[in-house]
Amino acid sequence: MADNKNVWVFIEQDEGTIADVSLELLAKARELAGILKSEVWALLCGQGVEDAARNAVAHGADRVLLAEHPELKLYRTLPYARIVSAQVREKEPYILLFGASPVGRDLAPRVASAVRSGLTADCTDLQIGDFDSKKDGKVFKDLLLQIRPAFGGNLIATIVNPHHRPQMATVREGVMRIQEPDPKRKGEIERVNCAFESSDFALEVLSREIRHSTVRLKESPVIVAGGAGAATEEDFELIRELAHVLGGEVGASRAAVDSGLIGKEHQVGQTGTTVRPRLYIAAGISGAIQHRAGMAESNKIIAINTDPDAPIFQIADYKIVGDLNEVIPLLINALREKAK
Amino acid sequence: MPYKSVVLVKQVPDTKNITGEAMTPEGTINRTALPAVFNPEDLNALEMALEVRDRHGGEVTVITMGPPGAAEVLRESLFRGADKVVLLSDRRFAGADTLATSYALSCAIQKLGSVDLVFCGRQAIDGDTAQVGPQTAEKLGMPQITYAEAIEKLEGGSIVARRALDHGTEMVKCSLPCLLTVVSSANEPRPASVRRRIEYKFAATSLEYKSLLAKWPSFKTEEALDAFLVRRELKIPVWTAADIGAEEQKLGMPGSPTQVYKVNFVVLEGSESKVVDPTSDGIKALIQELMQEYIVG
């Protein structure tokens, strides 16, 4: 086992643009490397992505391992896993992080299996801490504490990987914060060798259709969200109108998405998007744990619910017990009056 | 041309109804305290495999790893159309994380001989990790198609499949054998057929003989019951670690790099909340306050 404590981030890119989750991870990796007194290394695969490498440095990488090859232009499991596994075996990082995106969730387990290390999925927090192992009768210093919801979001589990390196985790999108890039930051860009085997090309991508979502939940300063209590088209019309008056975005609980009244891209919660807007208005949302986990860190929360005991009220700054059909029009009127 | 398919399924606790009793102080899961169900996306995987067989011929073998009670999902698979089922059960498998699980599953698949297609659900609702599929594929040296939503074409030695990603779809062509993880939007799993339900009602593993004898005292001995099940081709095989030729140190807890350090119940407490009257005046005062704090306006 190597004695470096470097923190690696797999950088996901699409046509040279780095995915937000990778930038979030670079910021988190800086924090972890600060505690470990080690370096942040970015692992970037693609073709013609040198600008992205420089961008990774600006966002916190001390070194970028840059694998450029025509076969790496579009993401495919096997060629990417080949490069990442080879680099991990050769340089033995202490920690290796991936975004819990479709790419990260496809690639990370493949790599973990190849290098025979532990992998924790969908972490919502990462810390450095000691692990007192009864089984081994010793304390493992400075391990990566991999924190994730478990059992349908009812529990928070902390997972460690004491004996194997690297300590690997995928991290949910949107839960860590991106740091402002510093274009003056210095970092090395190291080009790495790309050697494949013919079996790496068993799969070819015939076509790819990307829908660019117009819903921008994560960035919106205000979110008005509807839940099971918003049971009709008219209810969601009111929610949309309030969001419009506030210059915000429409959110939804899983129950509302399941009812078909609103699209999945609006879903807030553990299986949707994690948000922390300036203002979150929860209308007719009871506040199941899986929803609260995705919005509890909002700056101010207004909850509207007919049930005075709804769990959503436990985390609300403002509690309005009432029917959203009555309360929302009052909110809209009050806002319109103030705007005059 | 006929295809030989394997479907990996899992019996999972119904995570929608969790109580405090479900967790032990050591942070492991007391599965007996929860109702067990067929992992939903594994039903989509089974359906996809059955559709391949119905269209091209071949056979579908369903494998699950778990305690004796996991035979329940195998019977359910038989009711829905599986040709063969196998239970992997051994104390040495217990406490496995995704890496050790994928190792055991890959050994079992290798024991079946040559296989064209391996199907699994995208993820299981107890862990939501989506790791076992890709890890199994790696151990088998097979390419993988995760988030598979449809098989567009299956011809000779290759498959064309559509993947459903967060923000779009991807069409891929892959040589066989390969492993697919199947999403819930792929299909509507067929229900158990009444005919098959009657046909396989008595299907059982030897691990269940004791409780079955209590239910059917007319068999008197386990040997008699066994002879009956074998004759009717209703005996579900149980494979142990030795049967699949697995290295013991790669199984169960010893073979699992990850360990649970601690488990906490989720507590999300906000600051004391202010009660706002659902009246015109109450709401106006609220908006006033939010404007003063620059939250709105």
Instruction: Identify the band that residue A28 occupies on the pLDDT scale cut at 50, 70 and 90.
Output: very high
Per-residue model confidence (pLDDT) at position A289: 81
pLDDT digits (tens, 9 = 90+) for A168-208: 999 998 888 899 999 999 999 999 999 999 999 999 999 99
* Exposed/middle/buried for residue B40 (C-beta within 10 Å: 0-12, 13-18, 19+): middle
Mean pLDDT of B95-100: 96
Does any CB of chain B come closer than 8 Å to the CB of residue A134? Answer: no
A166 close to A93: Cβ distance less than 8 angstroms:
yes
Contacts of A207 in chain B (CB under 8 A): 170-171
Per-residue model confidence (pLDDT) at position B62: 98
CB neighbours of residue B247 within 10 Å: 10
Among A76-90, B32-46, B155-169, B254-268, which stretch is predicted with the lowest mean pLDDT? B254-268
Question: Between B192 and A134, whose confidence is greater?
Answer: B192
A296 close to A206: Cβ distance less than 8 angstroms:
no
pLDDT digits (tens, 9 = 90+) for B183-207: 999 999 999 999 999 999 999 999 9
Shortest Cα distance, chain B CAs vs residue A64, angstroms: 26
CA-nearest of B31, B43, B97 to B70 is B31
- For residue B146, the SS3 value is strand
Per-residue model confidence (pLDDT) at position B166: 77
Contact state of B99 with A292 under an 8 Å Cβ cutoff: no
Angstrom distance (rounded) from CA B29 to CA A85? 32
Q: Report the mean per-residue pLDDT for chain A.
A: 93
Question: Between B166 and B174, whose confidence is greater?
Answer: B174
Contact state of B127 with A150 under an 8 Å Cβ cutoff: yes
Pairing mode, if any, of strands A222-226 and A249-252?
parallel
Who among A122, A151, A202 is closest to B126 (CB)? A151
Per-residue model confidence (pLDDT) at position B295: 83
Shortest Cα distance, chain B CAs vs residue A242, angstroms: 12
A281 close to A221: Cβ distance less than 8 angstroms:
no
Structure tokens at A130: 């000691």
Contact state of A338 with B287 under an 8 Å Cβ cutoff: yes
Angstrom distance (rounded) from CA B257 to CA B250? 10
A126 close to A169: Cβ distance less than 8 angstroms:
yes
Shortest Cα distance, chain B CAs vs residue A277, angstroms: 10
- For residue A306, the SS3 value is coil
Contact state of B131 with A109 under an 8 Å Cβ cutoff: yes
Mean pLDDT of B56-67: 97
Question: Between A149 and B203, whose confidence is greater?
Answer: B203
∠ CA A98-A100-A106, nearest 5°, is: 80
Angstrom distance (rounded) from CA B7 to CA B49? 7
Angstrom distance (rounded) from CA A309 to CA A324? 16
> Crossing angle for the helix pair B132-140 and B98-111, nearest 10 degrees?
50
Per-residue model confidence (pLDDT) at position B21: 60
Tell me, what amino acid is at B280? Answer: S
Tell me, what amino acid is at B170? Answer: E
The chain A residue lying nearest B269, using CA atoms, is A315
**Gyration radius of chain A's alpha carbons:** 22
The chain A residue lying nearest B284, using CA atoms, is A334
The chain A residue lying nearest B129, using CA atoms, is A121
- Domain locations along chain A: 7-201, 222-339
Angstrom distance (rounded) from CA A305 to CA A321? 5
Structure tokens at B277: 């009257």
* Residue carrying the six token digits 């387990």: A109
Task: Give the list of residues 6+ apart from residue B230 with CB closer than 8 angstroms, or none.
Answer: none
Structure tokens at A221: 């300063």
CA-nearest of B244, B3, B233, B258 to B127 is B258
Contact state of A296 with B261 under an 8 Å Cβ cutoff: no
Structure tokens at A205: 């991508």
Instruction: Identify the band that residue A10 occupies on the pLDDT scale cut at 50, 70 and 90.
Output: very high
**Gyration radius of chain B's alpha carbons:** 24
Domain A7-201: which CATH number of 3.40.50.620, 3.40.47.10, 3.40.50.720, 1.20.20.10? 3.40.50.620
* Highest mean pLDDT (candidates A59-73, A236-250, B273-287): A59-73
CA-nearest of A10, A30, A156 to A85 is A10
Angstrom distance (rounded) from CA B208 to CA B216? 12
Element (H, E) at A98: strand A95-99
State yes or no: pLDDT of A339 exceeds 60: yes
Residues listed for chain B? 297
What's the pTM value of the predicted model, to 2 decimals?
A: 0.86
Instruction: Identify the band that residue B292 occupies on the pLDDT scale cut at 50, 70 and 90.
Output: confident
* Residue carrying the six token digits 């109108």: A241
State yes or no: pLDDT of B48 exceeds 90: yes
State yes or no: pLDDT of A56 exceeds 90: yes
Instruction: Identify the band that residue B20 occupies on the pLDDT scale cut at 50, 70 and 90.
Output: low
State yes or no: pLDDT of B167 exceeds 90: no
CB neighbours of residue A263 within 10 Å: 12
Contacts of B262 in chain A (CB under 8 A): 157-158
CB < 8 Å from B in window 214-273 of A? 222, 246
Per-residue model confidence (pLDDT) at position A2: 63
Contact state of A157 with B15 under an 8 Å Cβ cutoff: no
Phi, psi (deg, nearest 5) at residue B247: -80, 125
State yes or no: pLDDT of B25 exceeds 90: no
Would you give the end-to-end CA distance of chain B in angstroms?
A: 67
Structure tokens at B139: 């151990």
Q: Report the mean per-residue pLDDT for chain B.
A: 92
Q: Do the domains A222-339 and A7-201 match in fold?
A: yes
Mean pLDDT of A59-69: 98
Contacts of B27 in chain A (CB under 8 A): 157
Per-residue model confidence (pLDDT) at position B19: 55
Determine the residue among A130, A203, A337 to mutate to test chain B binding: the one whose Cβ has the most chain B Cβ atoms within 10 Å: A203
Determine the residue among A141, A144, A201, A206 to mutate to test chain B binding: the one whose Cβ has the most chain B Cβ atoms within 10 Å: A206
A119 close to A109: Cβ distance less than 8 angstroms:
yes
A222-339: what fold?
Rossmann fold (3.40.50)
B156 close to B2: Cβ distance less than 8 angstroms:
no
Angstrom distance (rounded) from CA A203 to CA A191? 25
CA-nearest of B127, B157, B96 to A121 is B127
State yes or no: pLDDT of B23 exceeds 60: no
CB < 8 Å from B in window 185-204 of A? 199, 202-204
Instruction: Identify the band that residue A274 occupies on the pLDDT scale cut at 50, 70 and 90.
Output: confident
**pLDDT > 70: percent of chain A:** 98
Who among B173, B257, B266 is closest to A161 (CB)? B257
Per-residue model confidence (pLDDT) at position A155: 78
Contact state of B143 with A296 under an 8 Å Cβ cutoff: no
**Which residues are paired to B168 by β-bridges?**
A210, B165
Structure tokens at B108: 């079992």
Would you give the end-to-end CA distance of chain A in angstroms?
A: 67
Structure tokens at B3: 């295809």
Element (H, E) at B47: helix B40-56
Tell me, what amino acid is at B30? Answer: N
Task: Give the list of residues 6+ apart from residue A15 with CB closer than 8 angstroms, or none.
Answer: none
Determine the residue among A77, A139, A141 to mutate to test chain B binding: the one whose Cβ has the most chain B Cβ atoms within 10 Å: A77
State yes or no: pLDDT of B16 exceeds 70: no
What is the b/e burial string over B74-89, where b = at least 16 CB atoms within 10 angstroms of the residue's CB?
bbbbbbbbbbbbbbbb
Contacts of B271 in chain A (CB under 8 A): 317
pLDDT digits (tens, 9 = 90+) for A76-121: 999 999 999 999 999 999 999 999 999 999 999 999 999 999 999 9
Q: Is the peptide bond before B68 cis (omega within 30 degrees of 0)?
A: no
Among A137-151, A209-223, A248-262, which stretch is predicted with the lowest mean pLDDT? A209-223
Contacts of A267 in chain B (CB under 8 A): none
Does any CB of chain B come closer than 8 Å to the CB of residue A75? Answer: no
Per-residue model confidence (pLDDT) at position B149: 96
Per-residue model confidence (pLDDT) at position A271: 75
Task: Give the list of residues 6+ apart from residue B27 with CB closer than 8 angstroms, or none.
Answer: A157, B260, B261, B262, B263
The DSSP 8-state label assigned to residue B191 in this structure reads P
Domains present along chain B, CATH in parentheses: 3-250 (3.40.50.620)
Instruction: Identify the band that residue B9 occupies on the pLDDT scale cut at 50, 70 and 90.
Output: very high
